[in-house]
Amino acid sequence: MKMTDPETTMPAATASQEVMRAEGLSVALPIDGRMVPVVTDVSFGVSRGEAVALVGESGCGKSMTASAIIGLPPRGAQVTGRLIVNGREVLGLSPRQRRKLCGNEIGFIFQEPMTALHPTLRIGRQMTDTICHNLGLSRRAATERAVEILDTVGIPRPRAILQGYVHQLSGGMRQRVMIALALSCEPSLVIADEPTTALDVTIQAQVLDLMERMRKEFDLGMLFITHDLEVVRDFCDRAVVMYSGDVVERGSAAGVTRAPAHPYTRGLIEAVPGETTDRLVPIPGSVPQIGAWPEGCRFAPRCARADAKCRTHPPLDAENPTAVRCWHPLEEIA
């Protein structure tokens, strides 16, 4: 069940700027004595200076895809396909090599710093340990690097912050520390997993502005995992929409959010009050359980456009050469 990817025909110059590319990336978990697929055949890339959104409901496979990219899938998971980071295939690397890769080339911004940062270690210890391990600096040089990057992300009195603990900081300051930690080893790709969910609206805007500034200043590729379509439209260049572990639509962020081609993407937009109407229009039904996906299109049981073909045959490339996986896409294809 594949979808034609216009990115595979990109010019060589553009391809050379890619910091990450997933090709047919799939993840299976051991459940009740058998391996059950939870993410299937995901393909997309992220280039330098570009922000790509991974969008979908909770449970659609966004964070599982991210965990496979950084080499931290759940215990017993099987990850297959291809994953290329800065031109190097990484799925075959040893755990130690993957950890080194994540430290030097991939930064990760977690959704909740209170659970991602160690509660009993000073912030300085956590930052300098990371920098020393990945960049090989002395403790003194690592401290200066930590001060520099904390100052860069707008944290006042950075030396004092290094002496403190995560619980002593506000939500916005904790997230700035997470961003600083993700940037501390000069990665080329940063993955941000719902980084503003736990923040109020004002702090959300400040954190997003900071991430946008960091992306431009350091020429970062950024993978932004979110369900906030306003963030996708305002912050990201491209969007990859996932449903039930599958990519169902891919395109420019403006095109996907303003003129979606897949009924599921349209449903996500209409479920946000004020996007297309003042009334909330929920998507009927719920995401199917892992391992109990429908035989045909996975969205068919919830789709008003579904017919018998949708319920028995997964959408195929031959009859659907656009960047949308649907037998009956909406007419307004961007």
Let me know if residue 219 belongs to a domain: yes
Rounded Cα gap, residues 290 and 244, in angstroms? 8
Model pLDDT, residue 199: 73
Model pLDDT, residue 320: 46
The SS3 call for residue 119 is coil
Rounded Cα gap, residues 291 and 163, in angstroms? 47
Rounded Cα gap, residues 182 and 192, in angstroms? 9
Nearest alpha carbon to residue 110 among 177, 201, 204: 177
- The reported pTM is 0.86
Rounded Cα gap, residues 68 and 171, in angstroms? 27
Let me know if residue 92 belongs to a domain: yes
148 to 121, 155, 167, 214: CA distances (angstroms): 20, 10, 22, 14
- Consecutive H or E run containing 261: none
Let me know if residue 251 belongs to a domain: yes
Let me know if residue 6 belongs to a domain: no
Say if residue 156 is exposed, middle or buried (CB neighbours under 10 Å; 0-12, 13-18, 19+): exposed
Q: pLDDT by residue for the chain (334 residues), tens digit each?
A: 444 444 433 333 344 589 999 999 999 999 988 999 999 999 999 999 999 999 998 888 999 999 999 888 899 999 999 999 999 999 988 888 887 787 789 999 887 888 889 999 999 999 999 999 888 899 999 999 999 999 999 899 999 999 999 999 988 899 899 999 999 998 999 999 888 776 777 888 888 888 899 899 889 999 999 888 888 998 999 999 999 999 999 999 999 999 999 999 999 988 877 655 667 788 888 888 887 888 899 999 999 999 999 999 988 654 444 589 999 998 744 4
Model pLDDT, residue 150: 94
Let me know if residue 129 belongs to a domain: no
DSSP letter assigned to residue 252 = E
24 to 17, 84, 193: CA distances (angstroms): 20, 11, 21
Let me know if residue 86 belongs to a domain: yes
Q: Is beta strand 189-193 parallel, antiparallel or unpaired with respect to 18-31? A: unpaired
Q: What are phi and psi of 42, to 5 degrees?
A: -90, 130
Let me know if residue 154 belongs to a domain: no
Helix/strand/coil percent split, the chain, to 5: 40, 20, 40
Could you give the residue ranges of the DSSP H alpha helices within the chain? Answer: 12-16, 62-70, 95-105, 113-116, 123-135, 139-152, 158-162, 171-183, 201-218, 229-235, 253-258, 263-270, 308-312
**Full strand arrangement of the beta sheet holding 246-252:** 106-109, 189-193, 221-226, 51-55, 238-243, 246-252
Model pLDDT, residue 163: 95
> What CATH number corresponds to the domain at position 199?
3.40.50.300
Q: Which amino acid, residue 166?
A: V
Does residue 1 contact residue 246 with C-beta atoms inside 8 Å? yes
Model pLDDT, residue 144: 96
Say if residue 75 is exposed, middle or buried (CB neighbours under 10 Å; 0-12, 13-18, 19+): exposed
Collect all residues with Cβ–Cβ distance below 8 Å to 315 and sequence separation of at least 6.
Answer: 1, 3, 297, 325, 326, 327
Report how many domains make up the chain.
1
Model pLDDT, residue 225: 93
Could you list the residue range(s) of the whole structural domain that residue 289 is in?
19-120+165-312
Let me know if residue 150 belongs to a domain: no
